[in-house]
Amino acid sequence: MALRPVQVNTKALDDSAVGRFWAEALGRSAYSPGVTTYVGPAGGGTRFPAHATSMGRVLLAGLPAPEQAAHPERAVPEPLTPHTVTSANRLGSLLERTEREGFALVEDELEEGLRSMAVPVRDRTGRVVSAVNVSMHVRRRTVEQTLDTVLPALRATAARIEDDLRVAGRYVAIPSA
């Protein structure tokens, strides 16, 4: 599968929040100057603690229950800021909410002043194989504005990626995460 850019609705996200991106199922990432974007399966690309990122929470929430419960970050979440969720029970509740609502929103947990939102990317069987996220400074827009403008754009982007994965899966074996 060739690297193919997917255009996110930049009217909703603006140029400073996200650029063009797409990644192969193997985890390559695309770069736009001044923008950090990554789309890829678990295990590829830049690594941050899963419990403190929106993308990590989406990926953790997408795991089968036994794997999710056994994940080391679920058992003992490490504090990265004063706002990082460090209770295994609270993290479990947040993962359940993420699964139920189909997105994660994390604020001030990885870094103070950083808000991120992620949605899952699913394979043709419905299994979460990746996530798409956008990060921004908390002062860029309110949580409500983020939910109203960024979430629909992320979901539309994930749907386009899922469509591409379904088509590509007909012709090549796409490795599992």
Report the alpha-carbon distance of residue 3 to residue 121 in Å, rounded: 17
pLDDT at residue 12 greater than cutoff 80: no
Question: Which of 72-81, 143-152, 156-165 is predicted least confidently?
Answer: 72-81
Per-residue model confidence (pLDDT) at position 29? 38
As given in the structure block, the two tokens for residue 80 are 């990265």
Q: What percent of the chain has pLDDT over 70?
A: 67
Its CATH architecture, for the domain 10-166, is 2-Layer Sandwich (3.30)
Tell me which residue has tokens 């990432």: 29
Going by pLDDT thresholds of 50, 70 and 90, the confidence category of residue 45 is low
As given in the structure block, the two tokens for residue 113 are 């002043």
Alpha helices (H) along 29-148: 54-61, 65-70, 72-75, 88-101, 143-145
79-130 pLDDT, tens digit each: 999 999 988 889 889 999 999 999 999 999 999 999 999 999 998 888 898 8
Q: What is the pTM of this model?
A: 0.71
Q: For residues 140-164, give the mean pLDDT.
A: 92
Question: What does the domain layout of the chain look like in residue ranges?
Answer: 10-166
Per-residue model confidence (pLDDT) at position 41? 44
